[in-house]
Structure 1
């Protein structure tokens, strides 16, 4: 599936950057191949517009904020949050241009991050009660680009079979390759998977958990939100909650922006945030090394013959099936590199 060619995927919310970044001025981002600029107006609203001035196509992200408008760095034309041109310095009597001349996109702030949708959202940003619960703390962890498809990262997050191989140096057991199968409940725009997974604890993890046990049972409740958002709720026998939220925000077909933060039910005195980040850093780097070697054109059609499958692939296969159904419900079919190559050949032949 080539995500940039699937119009339906534009109709979901994606976290694009920590909100602190826009405090420094307009910020560029590429979402599903669309160049956007995110900026904060004087009234506090955070805005997302197409990153292109319609005058001579300069990037608005190179400009600056003036009150509730963003100023193009090329000739000073100014645009408000709706994309309306409110000032042309060379024609001060004009009061700008009529109508919205720069495309604007739904934009909001949740969980310390700016979220953007490129079309009318099909589903809301999830409500996670821990954000407003004083017994939990949120730890912002990672904001980085991975050279892999977002769907690969989502599938990996629900793949119990990879744990004992990819994470053999952190918490896996390579001598125990047969994973427990999760119980999966399908939901609108996603699913929840529950399983109990035994894992090994290295010294740093023992410190983070305040548990000297060599083996711990993780009680896992994992929620997938279409298309590339995951919430992994790990409850340890001690009652500790470690809830990881990971978004694979699609930049292009072959790249995603990994946005990850977590909620913890302990305190900084119990486990310093730097130690929690350090352990999860090792885990994510193990995943990244493998995922960046995979093909970004993930075939949704399980009968395509491109990939083989096994029973533990069930969560990922359900993702693919639900994405096919989603596209079909909105009049789309899966776009692949094969389709793109064929279209190019047809264009060459017709010319």
Structure 2
């Protein structure tokens, strides 16, 4: 049992598998190979001539150089070191120095299933890629009447702290007290959790539509969080401003956060909202994110080991329990599958 608990904690700290994770904004992957690290794994992304994204382990099977330092040849990526080519399925496609090679066709690199949606590139991190669950995202990211603008950043903290921060509506009244959108409302509140079909909502019971008054966690093939920020009419058309957030581990000490800023607008109002956002509001929203980043990066990695939690922390405690249970199930299944 001790081994299971330790392994589950290590897995939880580095990132749960068998989920879809956003790994990069679509604009980050263009003509050249793009290397990154997610869940402790080195990955190279590139687009073929039709614009489709491929993702494989960022390691040349010949000598181990990073393929992301090489060239995009469309259907393959070529290593800078000796020109060895690997295709999107992770198979060695060509060894130029030999002309003909018995190594061609062998699969030596892990390949990651890819979905590009809502301005982001999602990869499946799981052991079995033959029966993938669908990537079901909140309605705000599925187009239609919703306009969603993605903001993403690297934070030097464990991803669990970034997720827990979103599950804490009360911090808005303090950390973001001078924000253009969170400067109003009481600094005391009663909180409760309620179940949803995909997760749960943690909300204030005595205040609604004034500040950051509720937050939702959902598990639908990916783990996401959602909240709304009330906006005055001076902030343009569309009513309340919704944020959908996801966080992807880079390693045990850092993460990549993804925040979609969403508003329900169509026609000319969509164009007006996008212009207003880019011209005036985007900088203000980055200021709010910077406040979160500074707080979280200033915390020790071991901060959760010496806490004094109170009632307003029930949402993040519930999230922790959900994530810990998922890690224990995952690691337990792996251990059970190992040969005796």
Give the TM-score range, shorter chain. Answer: 0.7 to 0.9
Aligned in 2, Cα 1:76/1:162: closer, same or farther, shift over 3 Å?
A: same
Identify the residue that residue 160 of structure 1 maps to in structure 2.
Answer: 169
What is the alpha-carbon distance in structure 2 between the residues aligned to residue 225 and residue 58 of structure 1?
Answer: 39
What is the alpha-carbon distance in structure 1 between the residues aligned to residue 206 and residue 55 of structure 2?
Answer: 41
Structure 1 residue 294 displacement after superposition: 1.5
Checking the alignment, whether the CA contact within 8 Å between 2:242 and 2:262 is kept in structure 1 is yes
Identify the residue that residue 248 of structure 1 maps to in structure 2.
Answer: 247
Identify the residue that residue 126 of structure 1 maps to in structure 2.
Answer: 136
Moved more, 91-100 or 75-84: 91-100
Identify the residue that residue 277 of structure 1 maps to in structure 2.
Answer: 282
Q: Matches of residues 321-340 of structure 1 in structure 2 within 5 Å?
A: 321-332=321-332
Checking the alignment, whether the CA contact within 8 Å between 1:4 and 1:252 is kept in structure 2 is no
What whole-Å deviation, never above 9, does each CA across 1:2-59 have from its counterpart, x for those lacking one?
6667687122111111112211311011011111111112243311111110211110
What is the alpha-carbon distance in structure 1 between the residues aligned to residue 320 and residue 303 of structure 2?
Answer: 9
Matched, 1:19 2:29: no
Give TM-score, length-normalised by structure 2. Answer: 0.80
Gaps of 5+ in 2: 1-7, 334-340
Identify the residue that residue 318 of structure 2 maps to in structure 1.
Answer: 318
What is the alpha-carbon distance in structure 2 between the residues aligned to residue 219 and residue 292 of structure 1?
Answer: 22
Matched, 1:192 2:181: no
What is the alpha-carbon distance in structure 2 between the residues aligned to residue 74 and residue 230 of structure 1?
Answer: 42
Aligned in 2, Cα 1:309/1:12: closer, same or farther, shift over 3 Å?
A: same
Identify the residue that residue 341 of structure 1 maps to in structure 2.
Answer: none
Checking the alignment, whether the CA contact within 8 Å between 1:37 and 1:48 is kept in structure 2 is yes
Checking the alignment, whether the CA contact within 8 Å between 1:86 and 1:97 is kept in structure 2 is yes
Structure 1 residue 148 displacement after superposition: 1.3
What is the alpha-carbon distance in structure 2 between the residues aligned to residue 152 and residue 5 of structure 1?
Answer: 12
Checking the alignment, whether the CA contact within 8 Å between 2:189 and 2:205 is kept in structure 1 is no
Checking the alignment, whether the CA contact within 8 Å between 1:151 and 1:298 is kept in structure 2 is no
What is the alpha-carbon distance in structure 2 between the residues aligned to residue 7 and residue 291 of structure 1?
Answer: 17
Checking the alignment, whether the CA contact within 8 Å between 1:48 and 1:106 is kept in structure 2 is yes
Aligned in 2, Cα 1:162/1:8: closer, same or farther, shift over 3 Å?
A: closer
Checking the alignment, whether the CA contact within 8 Å between 1:154 and 1:228 is kept in structure 2 is no
Matched, 1:64 2:71: yes
3-state DSSP of counterpart to 1:55: coil
3-state DSSP of counterpart to 2:30: helix
Residue 231 of structure 1, aligned match among 219, 226, 229: 226
Gaps of 5+ in 1: 200-215, 300-304, 334-351
Matched, 1:73 2:83: no
Checking the alignment, whether the CA contact within 8 Å between 1:30 and 1:251 is kept in structure 2 is yes
3-state DSSP of counterpart to 2:107: coil
Checking the alignment, whether the CA contact within 8 Å between 1:52 and 1:58 is kept in structure 2 is yes
Residue 112 of structure 1, aligned match among 116, 119, 122: 119
What whole-Å deviation, never above 9, does each CA across 1:159-206 have from its counterpart, x for those lacking one?
122122211221556994322414321555x4233447869xxxxxxx
What is the alpha-carbon distance in structure 1 between the residues aligned to residue 78 and residue 189 of structure 2?
Answer: 55
What is the alpha-carbon distance in structure 1 between the residues aligned to residue 205 and residue 271 of structure 2?
Answer: 27
Structure 1 residue 154 displacement after superposition: 1.4
Structure 1 residue 217 displacement after superposition: 2.2
Checking the alignment, whether the CA contact within 8 Å between 2:46 and 2:54 is kept in structure 1 is yes
What is the alpha-carbon distance in structure 2 between the residues aligned to residue 259 and residue 175 of structure 1?
Answer: 27
Residue 147 of structure 2, aligned match among 114, 118, 137: 137
Moved more, 232-241 or 36-45: 232-241
What is the alpha-carbon distance in structure 2 between the residues aligned to residue 175 and residue 134 of structure 1?
Answer: 32
What is the alpha-carbon distance in structure 2 between the residues aligned to residue 328 and residue 129 of structure 1?
Answer: 30
